[in-house]
Structure 1
Amino acid sequence: MAWSAPEVADLAGTTVRAVRHYHDVGLPAEPRRRTNGAPGDQLFLPARRLQRRRPTASTSFPARTGCETQGWGTELFGRGVEIAELDRVLARAAAGAGSGLVLWGEPGIGKTALLEYAVDTASDVTVLRCRGTRMEAGIAFAALHELLWPVMDRLATLAAPQAAALRGALGLSRDETNRFLVGAAVLSLVCDMARERPVLVVVDDAQWVDEATAHCLGFLARRIGADPVAVLLTGHEDPHSGMWEGLPAREVVGLAEEDARTLVAAAVPGAAEDLVDRTVRAAGGNPLALHELPTIDHEPDTDPVPGRPGDLMTVGPRLRRAFVARAAAMTPPARALLLLAAAEERGDRHVVHRAGAGWGVDMSTWDELLRSGLVRAPGPRLEFRHPLIPAAVYDGTPFAQRQAAHRALAAALPSDATAERAWHLATAADTADEDVAALLEQAAEQSLRRSAGPTAVRTLRRAAELSPDEGDAARRLAAAARAAWAAGDSGAARRLLDDAEQLVGERHVARLSRGLRGFLEFAYGVPERAHHYLTSDMAVVEDLHGVMEMGSMAVRSAWSAGRDDLQQEALERLAAVDTRGDPTLSELVPLLCSWWTCHDATGPAAPVDPATVGDLADRLGTRAWGLLPPLSLLQSWGVDGPLHDVLRMQTAALRRRQEVIAPAALLVQTAVLDVTAGRWDAAGNAAVEALEPAEEVGTENVATQCRLILASLAAPRGDEHTVDDLTTRVLAASVPRGVRALSANAYWQRGRAALFAGRPREALDHLLRLSEPGHDAAHHTCALLAAADTVEAAVQVGRLDVVEPQIAMIDGWVRRTGANWARAAAHRIRALVRSGPEAEESYRAALEVPGAPDDPFEYARTRLLHGEWLRRARRRAEAGRHLTGAAQAFERLGAEPLRARALRELALSEGPRVRGAAGPADAAGLTAQELRVAQLAADRLTNREIAAQLLISPRTVGHHLGNVYPKLGITSRTELARIDFAGDLRITVGG
């Protein structure tokens, strides 16, 4: 039968370690009771029953800190130096020479794990071990009793005086105890055993070993140089003086960060990355802390204290006991001083000194504290030797004593330390207290002025807990929700609003939070629900600018959802706002309404002066950027250009205020402008920079916009895999929430990727969804901006029925806004469906629109289309000039598919030329046009699709294929698909 550790503990009581010693030294395997004079019977179990098992959470054996356990085997992380030193000690013993080593360091640092490594590693040795305990530290020879009990039957082999002294020391007889004789007896006993095989003496927690045993072990360790004996001890203090003076010592320090992360991953498989980060930061490399902290919420005997200081992390019971044991040996005034230092947190020695004045603290108390090694005092600052010490001391002190400490510290603070005093009083409070709550609220306001949002949230929440009046509590919870929202913690903001609504109801909280529920819903939830919250809460919010922002955001929510009816409802509410004579707002309301009525561009809406729109956009960007419509709408108006510098300055200002959501949102807007201006690398960097915080705080709208920007860059660069991956993620997030503006953009980027890759039919299939009533991607603004792409794809596949509605939409927008991009797009669209002089006139007009070169990508696309038209008109020199310019622009931007297309057209426009070394096409005798036709046919495009892409007739395609087949020695498209056009034009599969 195999015995588990708990069973052994139940049978052996406090002698579990003795049972393990019994097994290690290999004594007879039958169970027996020893009653030879020792106080109490000691039960020994047969070694064959002690099968080595993997320890579990209920194991009574000492925890093996800093290691991963396999059976009783040990894998240590980051302990290469210590392991090497242990190996040297064990190797000396195996070679017949004795030595000792003291491993010392703070509690939980992994010393016990290193001892376990030595025990597990040593082969064919006798292991004697014991552990010091505080309870037995005052009992002479208590630890020696544990160490030698398994080999007590060997006492008969000792010289009579030694045996008598040792028996007396161990309580086996009434013989007089002589420390020298006891030390000599232990030395003789161990060396006698070492003649049979090496002996490993292991002493854990040697700082608690009783003085008599410590003298005996020191006597042993200093006299084993000529015998195969290794003595390993662990302790908390540097053994340069005291019982172990003269023995080699090695300080065990905290794990490096990489090793600490590995240990957390081994201790808590699947731990979230943020949990690992917090644990590694808090533990300071302490392995026991790395084990305990990730699971601290599940510790049954860790009772969180209301109002606990935020900088003190909660520690688990084992770590607490390890550190508190050090403090327990100090005098009461020194323990009180240690508690004050732990509760003060900032390390201000003067404040701690003033607070301790009434607690009997004098210079001798300070001397005792500093001698303990727990605290250092370099100058006016107090520093704990390890960051876990103050937490352990604080947690290990009764609540009443902590209350007294915080009140003393509050009284000792200077008059201007409002926040610190507020928190000390709040921590000491155990009932509602309006004075303390008001002081906390004042401290939170100071934190917000310093842009310390998370601190303000914590402070306001505690203020609400201490508020006697429910209205005051709700107000403070609402303010905390606003602070959490600004800091990017939407989950906390929602919970705080919920708590406030339970006290005073939804409408009152809407007024107190200035409509925060709607903004949260827009950023993280469903836009239609956001519209509902925002429009209904406009009636209760008192701040006029807040009402304007809510109204604007309600319109934007409806626009995002593609709901014209909800957009009109929000516009009516916005138009009805009483601006109270504010000149800026009075001018803003009608203009915002005109801005947002873009859903009916072909209707009777009156034209709006773009200059006025641009001027107000510039002013809003510098003073109230939150009222700006989405940038795609500003782009459709053609007033986005001047906003780049404004948004950049606003982003920098928000970063200085340490806000999270707003800077990410502004970075997205800046990235969109960079895409249009041809600053694609800058746009990609901004999108990546904004994506990280957006994902971290869960702002799905902003994260989705970042992905769409990256997709808009990948599409013209030919990275279709990235486009597909990003748009799939976008649609997975936007479609269930009904955010049509984002879904439409995803379809647009898919359409552009297919169009640039030469698959116009697939491109058109995606692009038509933008105007399809009822489709998840139907959205007017996006359809308007994508009109030029839609027409180009439709022309290439011969869908002229699609062209006229697109032209009508663009023309209506040009009449409405006069936007330069729309004028250029309208001319380009007409050029695609016209012929002769009319087509050339349209291309020229598109290129001559003021500001057209400011969008270098679209300008180059127009030049490419114009160059292709000129090449077909056999005006090769003019075609070459446009195609060369387009190719150069595409090369600068990294738009490789369009660059390759421009270069192919350029080769066709140049006609026959002197050739150098023959390429694959030359070797087969194909012209450049025949090669292009063959490549497209090999991609399984029909003659009509090839004709649309190359802007030639289907009959011409058939003519070229009729020339290609005999030149390549094939007879069908099936064989054409097997040709390696990038290689030597041989048939790679089949004949």
Structure 2
Amino acid sequence: MELLGRGAETAVLDRLLERAADGAGSGLLLWGEPGIGKTALLEHAVGAAPCATVLRCRGTRMEAGLAFAALHELLWPVTDRLGTLPAPQAAALHGALGLSGETANRFLIGAAVLSLVSDLAAERPVLVVVDDVQWIDEASAHALGFLARRVANDPVLVLLSGHEDPASGPWDGLAALRIGGLADDDARSLVAAAVPGADDALIDDTVRTAGGNPLALHELPTLDRAAADDTSPRPPGAGVPIGPRLRRAFRDRVAAMPEPARALLLLAAAEDRGDRLVVDRAGTGRGVDASAWEDALRSGLIRTSGSRVEFRHPLIPAAIYEGATFPDRQAAHRALAAAQPTDAIEERAWHMAAAADAPDEEIAALLELAAGKSLRCGAGPAGVRALRRAAELSQVPAEAARRLAAAARAAWDAGQAEAARQLLDDAERLESGTDVARASSGLRGILEFTTGIPERAHQYLTRDMSVAPRTRDVVQLGSVAVRAAWSAGRTDLQQETLQRLLAVEADDDPALTEQLPALRALWSCYDQTGEFSPITPDRAHETTGRLVSAAWELLPPAPLVQIWGVEGPLRDALRVQAAALRERHELAALAVVLSQGAVLDLAAGQWGAAESAAIDGLHLADEVGADHVATQCRGSLALLAAARGDERTVEEYATRVLEISVPQGVRAFTSSVHWIRGRVALFAGRPDEALEHLMPVAQPGHDAAHPTFVLLAAADTAEAAVHVGRLDLAESRLTTVQAWARHSGAPWAQAIVHRLSALIRGGQSAEASYRTALDLAEAAGNPFEQARTRMLYGEWLRRARRRSDARRQLAAAAAVFDRLGADPLRRRALREQDLADGPTLRRGPGSSAGLTAQELRVARLASDHLTNREIAAQLLISPRTVGHHLANVYPKLGITSRTELSRVDLAGDLRLRVDARGR
């Protein structure tokens, strides 16, 4: 049957169904106000796809807190197909559907749903219909969103309907179609069809009042004419709110029914899950019998199918529930609580809570038990809601504070940072910070560490170490406290907390007892004073191997791992951490781990993985409100852009980082920005500018001063200093790295010592130093730095006129830069390689004929308006030599100045050759 006034909408649905039948799947969310006709459009789609397998479900308020409730309804007809899935996916989906005790793994469940639907679509097109997504439980919503975004290459159409614009949340990124009201002519036709014989006055009044809402157009005419006539003044052009009027219409209809039928409808509205058996049991003793069911079904407000009962429209149960008196609602919920199966802890707890009108410790305890069950199965938001309600029902303020603090921790683990902060504030208003700290496992310091001032975070964390309930919590809080002190550049606080952390005994925690020696070894890496024994690379694998299952809070920050040269094993541990956190859907912790892993992937030359981790971490951190984690991800993306020569992107990210780091005193972030900006300038051949950015990193008292980044930036600072003739500064950085290499034994530091020794001091030992640096860089596993060493070595060989050897080194360097996408250094290596080819031949007519390769290079840079000093920095020659070359260039080209040089065609054969190699 054609829907009145919905030609455009049905055409969209028909077109999507045709495309899906042809193998081009998609997802679409229909949204609009209640009663606007979304469900009717979904029914149209079902009727228009007679050859499709239809899977459908509907969200309900009562089941919104039950993990995977909607998925259970959707997939129940095809559970016999679960055995066709890969074993891990099948196990995960069995657990989600309550068919086994398998722990919930949301990522595997999403993949399993996609695999199952794709398998069904291999036989015939599949139509997935999900109504009222605003009440879909969070776990199901994530799985369905995962499905809807990944069916583009399958004959699958996913249609959803909801009340709100899907601008964010699980439906973010899906195509959406807003459903508006009917035009007046269509509305009149609909009223005339719904109420045969209606006079013009009733039709006009209904159309005016309903505002184009089809449900209102159906229901309003059934009211008494006087009740339907609304003469209250309205602002010009304002639409009439249909909610109150429709609710009145439904309530009036219910009020006219016999008492047992009214009781039945209220029970069904309060139960909200559509379980007819529970409603029937709850009605025992309230007169709910077969005749009550007949009356209710005859009203058209509800319908049944097997053991399911559902209302014709979601507004109906809302109107019935809101229209009932509070004592009647209490009685309904108490009856429903008593009617629940023995194992339905959550349902019984929520019905008892809905019936409570005063604090009740028994109900609060039952809700807390239900919250624990929700949290264990991955339904974090449901657990948070249960704990918050348990706090409201607590009779003692201390118990309310404890439950609020536990809710705050659950909200943080579920990635709801703002909610966690609010719940923690509420808890601290009821009880002392010490008691709340114990109940929330020191959450205040964790929140401050991820969003606030590191020194304040350190204060909270060290305070809460003394009240943490378990040794593991003490170690985790102490570890984060050391990180906070490191972030702030406070080596005094860092050392003080490290001493306290290393003194912890773990006799009450067997797992931590095994991990603690490894933790002590790794946490000693925080010391840069030489007081603790270093962790050598050969011990790194053994040490980190014990920490694969350790919480992210226990692992040291990535830049420190870098300077100790043990990033490889820890990178593996972080990958395991990330996989585990994805399984548990702990978004905040996952964002932290991804941000750390991005730093280590960059150092390993795995730039694609680094970029992916940083982007994913950034999105997660923004979603959960972890500002500092997002900032670190932006720093990694800026470092990557610097190596690629993307200066605009560097500045965009750098500006965002400094907006957070400078006001909050996060010196590690500020220092990293100075290092990154220095690299951009250095790679672009602007060593003077590079030094302006790099010098503050080692300047005591500066916002950017930080000992870790002094080491990380040492090689860049020394190279820039050599280019501008600051050999004293270069020697100073060499001395710094030498001392660290002796203390740590880190291969990267030893490689830099040899590279800088060759670059700064030259002489007969330079070649041996470069070769040793290359061997050590390979051992360090950083292909980018190894390529930089190879390029400097090739440049040295070219100046020593060993052109063949130079070309080999420069070609190898250029190949690595090309693979990584380090365009500025790739171009530099190719320029040097071209210069190693020797003087150009005279090429006949042409403006650049007769110039040597070096003269041509100097001329091109000068024509781009670079100064002699800037040209010298790019070509690794002195400004005086640049002047000498220009003095030769001018007479050869028949010009007398730089102004004329900019008008000369300097393309020539050489440029063509360089470009060809660079592409």
Instruction: Tell me what 1:37 maps to.
Output: none
Instruction: Tell me what 1:596 maps to.
Output: 526
Instruction: Tell me what 1:957 maps to.
Output: 882
Equivalent position amino acid for 1:958 in 2: G
* CA displacement, residues 627-681 of structure 1 (integer Å, 9 cap, x when unaligned): 1110111111111102233222221111111111111111122222221222212
Equivalent position amino acid for 1:109 in 2: I
Offset of residue 428 of structure 1: 0.8
* CA displacement, residues 725-760 of structure 1 (integer Å, 9 cap, x when unaligned): 011101111111111111111111111111111111
Instruction: Tell me what 2:78 maps to.
Output: none
Which of 523, 526, 542 does residue 469 from structure 2 map onto? 542
Offset of residue 954 of structure 1: 2.6
| 1:970 to 1:916, Cα distance in 2 relative to 1, 3 A | closer
Instruction: Tell me what 1:391 maps to.
Output: 318
Q: Secondary structure at the match of 1:965?
A: helix
Contact 2:840 2:853 in 1 (8 A): no
Q: Are 2:278 and 1:351 equivalent residues in the alignment?
A: yes
1:93-492 correspondence to structure 2 within 5 Å: 108-109=35-36, 206=191, 213=198, 236=215, 317=244, 320-321=247-248, 323-324=250-251, 327-328=254-255, 330-492=257-419
Q: Are 2:767 and 1:840 equivalent residues in the alignment?
A: yes
Mapped partners of 2:770, 2:381: distance in 1 = 57
Mapped partners of 2:6, 2:664: distance in 1 = 48
Contact 1:833 1:839 in 2 (8 A): no
More displaced stretch, 437-446 vs 943-952: 943-952
| 1:330 to 1:595, Cα distance in 2 relative to 1, 3 A | same
Instruction: Tell me what 2:84 maps to.
Output: none
Q: Secondary structure at the match of 2:388?
A: helix
More displaced stretch, 965-974 vs 665-674: 965-974
Mapped partners of 1:548, 1:743: distance in 2 = 28
1:542-941 correspondence to structure 2 within 5 Å: 542-580=469-507, 583-584=513-514, 587=517, 590-591=520-521, 594-598=524-528, 600=529, 606-849=533-776, 851-852=778-779, 854-912=781-839, 923=848, 925-941=850-866
Contact 2:187 2:214 in 1 (8 A): no
| 1:614 to 1:322, Cα distance in 2 relative to 1, 3 A | farther
Offset of residue 528 of structure 1: 0.4
Mapped partners of 2:5, 2:722: distance in 1 = 66
Task: Give the structure with higher Rg (CA).
Answer: 1
Contact 2:848 2:908 in 1 (8 A): no
Offset of residue 382 of structure 1: 2.7
Structure 2 residue runs without a partner (length 5+): 13-31, 39-183, 204-210, 223-236, 911-919
Equivalent position amino acid for 1:936 in 2: L
Instruction: Tell me what 1:248 maps to.
Output: none
Mapped partners of 2:742, 2:567: distance in 1 = 19
* CA displacement, residues 245-290 of structure 1 (integer Å, 9 cap, x when unaligned): xxxxxxxxxxxxxxxxxxxxxx99xxxxxxxxxxxxxxxxxxx9xx
Q: Secondary structure at the match of 2:436?
A: helix
Offset of residue 372 of structure 1: 4.0
Mapped partners of 1:969, 1:813: distance in 2 = 55
Contact 1:370 1:376 in 2 (8 A): yes
Mapped partners of 1:233, 1:483: distance in 2 = 43
Equivalent position amino acid for 1:637 in 2: W
| 1:319 to 1:558, Cα distance in 2 relative to 1, 3 A | farther
Contact 1:452 1:658 in 2 (8 A): no
Which is bigger in relative contact order (C-alpha 8 A, separation at least 6)? 2
Contact 2:748 2:780 in 1 (8 A): no
Instruction: Tell me what 2:869 maps to.
Output: 944
Contact 2:544 2:573 in 1 (8 A): no
Equivalent position amino acid for 2:480 in 1: M
Mapped partners of 1:201, 1:663: distance in 2 = 52
- Give the structure-2-normalised TM-score: 0.72
1:33-52 correspondence to structure 2 within 5 Å: none
| 1:200 to 1:964, Cα distance in 2 relative to 1, 3 A | closer
Contact 1:876 1:909 in 2 (8 A): yes
Contact 1:204 1:235 in 2 (8 A): no
Equivalent position amino acid for 1:930 in 2: E
Instruction: Tell me what 1:135 maps to.
Output: none
Q: Secondary structure at the match of 1:432?
A: coil
| 1:926 to 1:370, Cα distance in 2 relative to 1, 3 A | farther
| 1:454 to 1:217, Cα distance in 2 relative to 1, 3 A | closer
Equivalent position amino acid for 2:438 in 1: R
Instruction: Tell me what 2:913 maps to.
Output: none
Contact 2:34 2:315 in 1 (8 A): no
1:23-62 correspondence to structure 2 within 5 Å: none
Contact 1:798 1:948 in 2 (8 A): no
Offset of residue 949 of structure 1: 2.8
Contact 1:205 1:233 in 2 (8 A): no
Contact 1:579 1:585 in 2 (8 A): no
Q: Secondary structure at the match of 2:469?
A: coil
Instruction: Tell me what 2:915 maps to.
Output: none
Q: Secondary structure at the match of 1:382?
A: strand
Contact 2:598 2:611 in 1 (8 A): yes
- Give % identity: 59
Offset of residue 369 of structure 1: 3.2
| 1:893 to 1:83, Cα distance in 2 relative to 1, 3 A | closer
Mapped partners of 1:355, 1:464: distance in 2 = 28
Q: Are 2:442 and 1:515 equivalent residues in the alignment?
A: yes
Contact 1:204 1:234 in 2 (8 A): no
Mapped partners of 1:469, 1:531: distance in 2 = 31
Contact 1:607 1:815 in 2 (8 A): no
Count of aligned positions: 718
Equivalent position amino acid for 2:658 in 1: L
Mapped partners of 2:213, 2:796: distance in 1 = 87
Contact 2:408 2:419 in 1 (8 A): yes
Q: Secondary structure at the match of 2:273?
A: coil
Offset of residue 503 of structure 1: 2.1
- What's the Cα RMSD here? 3.7
Contact 2:842 2:850 in 1 (8 A): no
Q: Secondary structure at the match of 1:622?
A: coil
Offset of residue 331 of structure 1: 4.1
Mapped partners of 2:9, 2:348: distance in 1 = 46
Q: Secondary structure at the match of 2:877?
A: coil
Equivalent position amino acid for 2:444 in 1: R
Mapped partners of 1:629, 1:535: distance in 2 = 17
Mapped partners of 2:377, 2:287: distance in 1 = 38
| 1:78 to 1:956, Cα distance in 2 relative to 1, 3 A | farther
Offset of residue 485 of structure 1: 1.2
Which of 492, 508, 532 does residue 459 from structure 2 map onto? 532
Contact 1:107 1:322 in 2 (8 A): no
Offset of residue 446 of structure 1: 0.6
